Amino acid sequence: MKKDFLCLSDWSKADLDQLFALTGDLKARQKRGEPHRLLEGKTLAMIFEKNSTRTRVSFEVGMHQLGGHALFLHSGTTQMGRGEPVRDTGRVMARYCDGIMIRTYSQQAVEELAKWSDAPVINGLTDLYHPCQLMADIFTVIEHKGGYRGLTFAWIGDGNNMANSWINAAAVLGFRLRIATPEGYRPDSDVVARAEQLGADLSFTSDPLEAADGADVLSTDVWASMGQEEEAEKRRRAFAGFQLDRRVLDAAAKDAIVLHCLPAHRGEEISDEVIESPQSVVFDEAENRLHAQKAIMATLMG
């Protein structure tokens, strides 16, 4: 039976730990120059409704390293852009390709695509979730901290798709998560409710220093995500005081590490000093998109 990767909370802790282990194995094999063509002859369709740098390059390079082929499809140049139903696209793509990655706005569209596709579907980002990024983030924590158990994570900034995904991860993996957002910008209430039903250890505040106090991992994202450009000035005002800067980093544990999913707006959500500090693992995190997504593709499509 085919399995999709649409949301972290669709997967068990054991399943995610297996993906982290495979991520480490594939990264080590790539660093040694050891061939690992686990998807020889297979094809991934990559559907983009939102622009991307890291998502496209990491999936495309990942498929190449696994011995397969990645096919770039921009919605504006396909029949999806002319209104073809998602269900029809899913049924047809599954007859050509061994997997589908989609980066789009609506989580419902991704779920509809997966419902009708016989091939595995990977959520490359929606307005609600960004699960592939979270796999890279947590794998980076494992590399630098030796694991995620017993750690305190702090999210500083917008209650966006990244915050929602951190909440899902906390629910499944069982780590402590503090979230600092301005009033009116909290994470999705349904996501929070489901995570709390699963026993997630969550706390919410409007004080970044309170969230960061003694935390082991600090993370943030841009204040205005793709599609919110018209709100940018309003958001700059609302998020004043939420920059991940030296003041916030000093409130965390002395050996805390800093994550950011990129692209970063230096001087807004994160200071140049912090993103360039020795405690920043942002570029390891960016690299790990490649290795984490290879593990996901090899597991779903192999």
Question: Terminus-to-terminus CA distance in the chain, angstroms?
Answer: 13
The answer to whether 145 touches 27, Cβ cutoff 8 Å, is: no
Cα distances from 171 to residues 21, 166, 216, 271, 281, in angstroms, run: 20, 9, 18, 30, 24
Is residue 186 part of the annotated active site? The answer reads no
Clarify whether 133 is annotated catalytic: yes
Alpha-carbon distance 64 to 38, whole Å?
10
Binding-site residues for L-ornithine, please? 161, 221, 225-226
For 207-219, what is each residue's pLDDT tens digit?
999 999 999 999 9
pLDDT class of 76 with cuts at 50, 70, 90: confident
Q: Which of 68-82, 97-111, 136-150, 180-194 bottoms out in mean pLDDT, i.e. has the lowest?
A: 68-82
- Distance of alpha carbon 289 from alpha carbon 302, whole angstroms: 19
97, 98, 103, 127: which one is catalytic?
103
User: What pLDDT was estimated at residue 229?
Assistant: 80
pLDDT for residue 75: 78
Active site residue 291: no
Neighbours of 75 (CB within 10 A): 18
On the question of a common fold for 8-130+286-301 and 132-283, the answer reads: yes
From the candidates 137, 216, 221, 245, give the one annotated as an active-site residue.
Answer: 221
Active site annotation includes 37: no
- Among candidates 110, 67, 84, which has minimal Cα distance to 301? 67
Q: What is the pLDDT of residues 223-269, one digit of tens each?
A: 988 778 888 899 999 999 999 999 999 999 999 999 999 999 999 99
In total, the chain counts a number of residues equal to: 302
Question: Cα(39)–Cα(196) distance, rounded to whole angstroms?
Answer: 38
The pLDDT of residue 81: 75
Burial class (CB in 10 A: 0-12, 13-18, 19+), 175: buried
Does residue 82 surpass a pLDDT of 80? no
Q: For 18-34, b where at least 16 C-beta lie within 10 A, e where not — what string?
A: ebbebbbebbebbeeee
Task: Please state the residue numbers annotated as binding site.
Answer: 52-55, 79, 103, 130-133, 161, 221, 225-226, 261-262, 289
Of 239, 252, 236, whose CA–CA distance to 206 is shortest? 239
Q: What top-level class would CATH report for the domain 8-130+286-301? A: alpha beta
Angle at 196 between CA 105 and CA 176, to 5 degrees: 95
pLDDT tens digit sequence for 120-156:
999 999 999 999 999 999 999 999 999 999 999 999 9
The residue written with tokens 């396909």 in the block is 78
For 47-75, the pLDDT digits (tens) are 999 989 999 999 999 999 999 999 999 97
**pLDDT at res. 227:** 79
Domain ranges across the chain: 8-130+286-301, 132-283
Q: Which is nearest to 45 in space by CA: 90, 109, 111, 107?
A: 90
Which listed residue (4, 65, 127, 130) is catalytic?
130
Q: Is 289 a catalytic residue?
A: yes
Q: Is 7 among the catalytic positions? A: no
Exactly one of 97, 289, 291, 293 is catalytic; name it. 289
The H helix count followed by the E strand count for the chain is 12, 9
Residues at the binding site for carbamoyl phosphate are 52-55, 79, 103, 130-133, 261-262, 289
Among candidate residues 178, 188, 216, 261, the one labeled active-site is 261
178 DSSP β-pair partners: 154, 203
From 133, 137, 178, 235, the catalytic residue: 133
Tell me what pLDDT residue 14 has.
98
* Res 99 pLDDT > 90: yes
Q: What is the mean pLDDT of residues 85-113?
A: 95
State the architecture of 132-283 in CATH terms. Answer: 3-Layer(aba) Sandwich (3.40)
CB atoms within 10 A of CB 297: 27
Q: What is the percent of the chain with per-residue pLDDT over 70, rounded to a whole number?
A: 100
